[in-house]
Chain A
């Protein structure tokens, strides 16, 4: 498996809020690009936590992430291998 499936905590219906000078509170939602980087374990701890909270707290984000993981799981099925003959020819060259 080449991507990371995080632990879901659906019971925690948490949305994440930050202070904004113009608006008192603004909801931070995870973008599709954040979800992609998260699915491939390319986010740091703090960012991962923010994204996971977004997944847990926002049904739309949760649905998007679930569909993303589903496509990535399908991609996992099709990983071709080189033939033994190719490997033998390469090793002969060493």
Chain B
């Protein structure tokens, strides 16, 4: 029997369309973190991210069942486009831009896999994660979008430019300015700490 985890996406899709449920589990497992991270960092609200994540995969599954997936495209960019469109639809419906935040006491990072850390180490680790999340949150939406799609979703700059209908240099430029902004924020914090 073929090992699912070594099969490529195209074969897994074909297998699922032939009725093998294990194939879709493998695809979900393979891409859940990238797709969830993308949604979460765009909407910045855990509960909403979980809902949109479920909706995305349900739409993906329905499209696969109805043979609407073209093998010409790669699975991940296609799946991310579905997730991204659902996020944009949500903002349109709500007529708002992504400004919602998790409450202080309820953090998405509560569900991060815990490595063996003692309480003090865990606290430092949690602080670091919260710090990075705050850096990402402070970026303008267009820059944040590119950072998320490149770093967390794992799309190439070319794939991002196709997905967002922008020039590849625009995608690279947004990423570059995002990095500069984050670097600047890190340096400011270090100066403040020294003072």
Q: Which residues of B contact A71 (CB under 8 A)?
A: 179, 182-183, 186
Q: Which residues of B contact A76 (CB under 8 A)?
A: 151
Main secondary structure of the interface of A (DSSP, over half): helix
B: residues with CB less than 8 A from A are: 21, 24-25, 28, 32-33, 36-37, 40, 46, 49-50, 53-54, 57-58, 61, 108-109, 111-113, 128-129, 132-133, 135-136, 147, 150-152, 154, 156-158, 169, 172-173, 175-176, 179, 182-183, 186
The contact of A75 among B33, B49, B109, B147, by CB within 8 Å, is B147
Contact B132–A75 (Cβ < 8 Å): yes
B120 vs chain A, min Cβ distance (A) = 17
Contact B111–A72 (Cβ < 8 Å): no
Using known A-B contacts A2-B151, A33-B169, A71-B186, determine if residue A81 contacts B32 with beta carbons closer than 8 Å. Answer: yes
Mask, A72-91, CB within 8 Å of B = 1, is 10111111111101110111
A25 within 8 A of B: no
The contact of B28 among A3, A77, A81, A87, by CB within 8 Å, is A87
Determine the distance from Cα of A68 to Cα of B54 in the docked complex, in whole angstroms: 34
Contact A77–B36 (Cβ < 8 Å): no
A9 within 8 A of B: no
Determine the distance from Cα of A77 to Cα of B58 in the docked complex, in whole angstroms: 29
A40 within 8 A of B: yes
Contact A81–B112 (Cβ < 8 Å): yes
Contact A80–B186 (Cβ < 8 Å): no
Contact B132–A81 (Cβ < 8 Å): no
Q: Which residues of B contact A68 (CB under 8 A)?
A: 179
Contact A80–B109 (Cβ < 8 Å): yes
A-B contact pairs, 6 of them (CB 8 A): A33-B176, A67-B183, A74-B186, A78-B109, A79-B33, A79-B37
